[in-house]
Structure 1
Amino acid sequence: MSERIVFFNGNWVLASQVRISPFDHGFLYGDGVFEGIRAYAGRVFKLEDHMARLYASAKTLMLTIPYTPEELSQKVLESVRINQLQDAYIRLVVSRGAGDLGLDPRSCPEPTVLILADQIQLYPETFYQNGLALASVSIRRPSGDVLNPAVKSLNYLNNILAKIEANLRGVPEVVLMNAQGYVVEGTGDNIFIVRENRVITPPSSAGILNGITRKVIMELALAEGYRVAEENFTLHDLYNADECFLTGTAAEVIPAVTCDGRPIGNGQVGPVTRRLMAVFQEFARSTGTPVEQGTSVA
């Protein structure tokens, strides 16, 4: 594989030539925002939605992005095109930029902007066919009054601590709960359960990131005739669900068949999950912003 070309502070350079300042507050303090974006068959999926979330996160952090959403969208498209990719995972990062060793963001006059397009496979194909084993963990999601989960920031330590626990438990993914004991999400994915053909996912108020794939799946499930609800649920509800699956930009839609050693449903990938996996792939590969033309078709 040839070395990737990345967009870095206004220039296209080889990935090995990128130099982040040791004084960058994104590196020092996790002060910044990011988006993970997918391209399918030469189309960037839900680009406008990703841009809206990026700029909303930046506004909350009072972080001024030195490009308009339209300009940055074109850079995202170009990152796929210049690396000659059809299917890609794009990481768009805006950090506070270089400053001093203090916390004050006012010491950082210019943000750092990085766009990297590459390929990703978060889980092996066998997990999509046979399902994941999940485990609940002791790590809790911070409440919204501590760190608003709607802000997709560079501070992912909570997720990483949960992933460490997943590794120690010998499972590929874990389930996090909030302080009230309700299931929230995985380390980097939203979670759904299915009960009697009802597709249920935790509400925003539970302390989740409003995932773009999550939103798409809710819309597709409604179009398929399923009842969709945003409701709090517990581990007890998860253990006794008919089906379970996770959604995310990198993971897409992936089934889970056990949790804490308990089979979910019959312990196999269920029909609702399989149907939603199929319609998502069809939808993702037929919509989006074409990389070549740069105009939206859906």
Structure 2
Amino acid sequence: MGLIIYLDGEFVPEEQAVVSVFDHGLLYGDGVFEGIRAYHNRVFKLREHIIRLYESARTIGLDIPITMPEMEEVVLETCRRNGLRDGYIRLVVTRGRGDLGLDPRKCPNPTIFCIAASIQLYPEELYEKGLELVTVATRRNLPEACNPRVKSLNYLNNIYAKMEANLVGAPEAVMLNQEGYVAEATGDNIFIVKNGVLITPPPYAGILEGITRNTVMEIARQKGIPVEEKLFTRHDIYTADECFLTGTAAEVIPAVKLDGRVIGDGRPGKMTWELIHAYRELTRVDGPVIFREDERSMNCAG
């Protein structure tokens, strides 16, 4: 049985969920999106994801034709239609149908669609053993050119870096900014631990300000762990006590090697594990409920 997709105000079978070949999201990557997780019958950090979606849209001058509360309900209802209690949600807003020119004024009606399905980015063994990372030549987009803080449909910068990682068999890559400072991975934010302090690049380093990133920082502060947002280089990763990545799909995943250099003792560190467990506990209680108690008898997947 196929998925049910939300598309411009309707819920349709996936084979009917089609957009125009003249949609500028397809032609030019002109649009924004969010990847969101559902855990234990709740949509995790839904409000934060919706706020970021609308902020990204505002930055590119895209007027979303429904309100934020209405968009939240789109996400929840898409999960319900697919019986999804645990899984991954992709929410997309494109500039909409236009002509073959660039002018966004030719696109009067944005396209909105929402997909709720399953995802597994990394096998569980990598959470136990840790990732081996490589630094790639592709630099992170300049904020003055295509600001990484906008979660746009144009992901070629990340895809180039992912291709480089694939060529050497690495599951993930570290991207530097134009000044040579560490920015982020191809799909995740990066953290290091040094002398008991949790450190991550600041937004101005050229990163997407991740929802998971911010959540982990909040958890750490609640636990009394010092947190710093500051610039650092590959040297600081090589000499760190611990390293891990964060992202909606990846959650919190340890990294134990970069460019052949062992990080710490080559195993996921104590602070990393503490944050992994705390993050997973938070997913049980944070976010709006998908199915109410009176709907528990429904036959639901996930």
TM bracket, shorter-chain basis: over 0.9
The aligned length equals 293
Tell me the equivalent position of 2:69: 70
Tell me the equivalent position of 1:285: 284
Provide the rounded CA distance (Å) in 2 between the counterparts of 1:17 and 1:247: 34
User: Residue 143 of structure 1: CA displacement?
Assistant: 1.7
For 2:88, give the aligned amino acid: Y
1:216-238 alpha-carbon deviations (Å, 9 max, x no partner): 00010111221100010100000
1:171-230 alpha-carbon deviations (Å, 9 max, x no partner): 000000001110010001000000011000000110111100000000101112211000
Equivalent residue of 1:100, what SS?
A: coil
Larger mean CA deviation between 188-197 and 282-291 belongs to 282-291
Provide the rounded CA distance (Å) in 1 between the counterparts of 2:56 and 2:202: 19
Tell me the equivalent position of 1:240: 239
2:4 is aligned with 1:5: yes
2:119 is aligned with 1:154: no
User: Residue 150 of structure 1: CA displacement?
Assistant: 1.4
For 1:169, give the aligned amino acid: V
Provide the rounded CA distance (Å) in 1 between the counterparts of 2:225 and 2:196: 6
Provide the rounded CA distance (Å) in 1 between the counterparts of 2:199 and 2:99: 46
Tell me the equivalent position of 1:88: 87
For 1:231, give the aligned amino acid: K
1:153-180 alpha-carbon deviations (Å, 9 max, x no partner): 0000000000000100110000000011
For 1:148, give the aligned amino acid: N
Equivalent residue of 1:139, what SS?
A: coil
Provide the rounded CA distance (Å) in 2 between the counterparts of 1:30 and 1:56: 17
User: Residue 135 of structure 1: CA displacement?
Assistant: 0.3
Tell me the equivalent position of 1:217: 216
For 2:187, give the aligned amino acid: G
Provide the rounded CA distance (Å) in 2 between the counterparts of 1:149 and 1:273: 26
2:56 is aligned with 1:57: yes
Where structure 2 has 5 or more consecutive residues not aligned to the other structure, the ranges are 294-302
Tell me the equivalent position of 2:184: 185
Tell me the equivalent position of 1:106: 105
For 2:283, give the aligned amino acid: A
Provide the rounded CA distance (Å) in 1 between the counterparts of 2:276 and 2:27: 39
For 2:267, give the aligned amino acid: Q
Tell me the equivalent position of 1:130: 129
Q: Equivalent residues in 2 for 1:191-202 (5 A)?
A: 191-202=190-201
Provide the rounded CA distance (Å) in 1 between the counterparts of 2:218 and 2:168: 34
Provide the rounded CA distance (Å) in 2 between the counterparts of 1:75 and 1:88: 16
Provide the rounded CA distance (Å) in 2 between the counterparts of 1:287 and 1:106: 39
User: Residue 292 of structure 1: CA displacement?
Assistant: 2.4
Where structure 1 has 5 or more consecutive residues not aligned to the other structure, the ranges are none
For 1:178, give the aligned amino acid: N
Provide the rounded CA distance (Å) in 1 between the counterparts of 2:105 and 2:222: 47
Provide the rounded CA distance (Å) in 2 between the counterparts of 1:122 and 1:218: 22
Equivalent residue of 1:290, what SS?
A: coil
For 2:129, give the aligned amino acid: N
Aligned-pair identity in percent equals 57
2:33 is aligned with 1:34: yes
For 2:4, give the aligned amino acid: I
Provide the rounded CA distance (Å) in 1 between the counterparts of 2:200 and 2:260: 22
Tell me the equivalent position of 1:164: 163
Provide the rounded CA distance (Å) in 1 between the counterparts of 2:91 and 2:27: 18
For 1:278, give the aligned amino acid: H
Tell me the equivalent position of 2:24: 25
Tell me the equivalent position of 1:268: 267
- Which contiguous aligned blocks of 4+ residues in structure 1 show a shift greater than 3 angstroms? none
1:232-276 alpha-carbon deviations (Å, 9 max, x no partner): 010000000000000000110000000000100011111000110
For 1:191, give the aligned amino acid: I
Larger mean CA deviation between 130-139 and 62-71 belongs to 62-71
How large is the Cα RMSD of the aligned pairs? 1.0
Equivalent residue of 1:246, what SS?
A: strand
Provide the rounded CA distance (Å) in 2 between the counterparts of 1:198 and 1:146: 33
Provide the rounded CA distance (Å) in 1 between the counterparts of 2:151 and 2:100: 23
Equivalent residue of 1:289, what SS?
A: coil
User: Residue 293 of structure 1: CA displacement?
Assistant: 4.5
Provide the rounded CA distance (Å) in 1 between the counterparts of 2:49 and 2:112: 15
Tell me the equivalent position of 1:43: 42
**TM-score, with length taken from structure 1:** 0.97
